Amino acid sequence: MSLTTPYDDNNIFAKILRGEAPAHKVYEDDQTFAFMDIMPMMEGHTLVIPREPAVNMFDLSEDAATTLIRTTRKVAHAVRGAFDPHGVICAQFSGAPAGQTVFHIHFHIIPSWEGVEMNLHARKMQEADVLADHARRITAKLAT
Ligand code: 5GP
């Protein structure tokens, strides 16, 4: 997958946006959508995506980039409020060699705690009830 790979309408995040695949949603608006990562690196690991069909940073429009980072900031505040971490990683990987595995652009929001080792990237599925509980905690903070 190079940085000029065309967008595939059947990627898993496109299916989530169309409601064809399930997700633990925490936030949505006209241009963005946020949900729990199914294989979290830490508890509270959340993903933020644009509705615009872009593969990575290099085919994303400026308008979609603006709303994507605005929602990332908003959700990062809620993740911080819900989990009280020592730090928060906000990360975006463009291209397989950079670590991208799903080819619809997304920001990761990953809480971190001193002395707590992160899970490996995209390795271990979390239980649905745990993800649902974490989504509820973040949604509750977004409502305040
Ligand atoms: P990337 O490697 O592309 O930066 O990140 C893709 C992320 O999507 C990974 O952290 C992975 O755990 C997550 N992921 C992959 N498939 C699914 C899925 O079907 N649902 C959800 N919620 N997350 C997924």
Q: What is the pTM of this model?
A: 0.98
**With contact defined as beta carbons under 8 Å apart, do 111 and 139 qualify?**
no
In a domain, 1, yes or no: no
Residues labelled catalytic: 106
Q: Cα of 104 to ligand 1 centre, how many Å?
A: 10
Query: Which CATH number characterizes residue 80's domain?
Result: 3.30.428.10
Gap between the Cα atoms of 22 and 116, Å rounded: 29
Residue 23 Cα: closest atom of ligand 1: 22
In a domain, 6, yes or no: no
Q: Cα of 142 to ligand 1 centre, how many Å?
A: 22
In a domain, 56, yes or no: yes
In a domain, 92, yes or no: yes
In a domain, 3, yes or no: no
**30-49 confidence digits (pLDDT tens):** 999 999 999 999 999 999 99
Question: Rounded mean pLDDT of 52-65?
Answer: 98
Give the chain's domain count.
1
Q: Which domain holds residue 112?
A: 12-142
In a domain, 30, yes or no: yes
> What amino acid is encoded at 26 in this protein?
V
Residue with CA nearest ligand 1 atom 4? 100
What pLDDT is stored for residue 1 in this prediction? 63
Output the 3-class SS for the chain. Answer: CCCCCCCCCCCHHHHHHHCCCCCCEEEECCCEEEEECCCCCCCCCEEEEECCCCCCCCCCCHHHHHHHHHHHHHHHHHHHHHHCCCEEEEECCCCHHHCCCCCCCCEEEEEECCCCCCCCCCCCCCCHHHHHHHHHHHHHHHCC
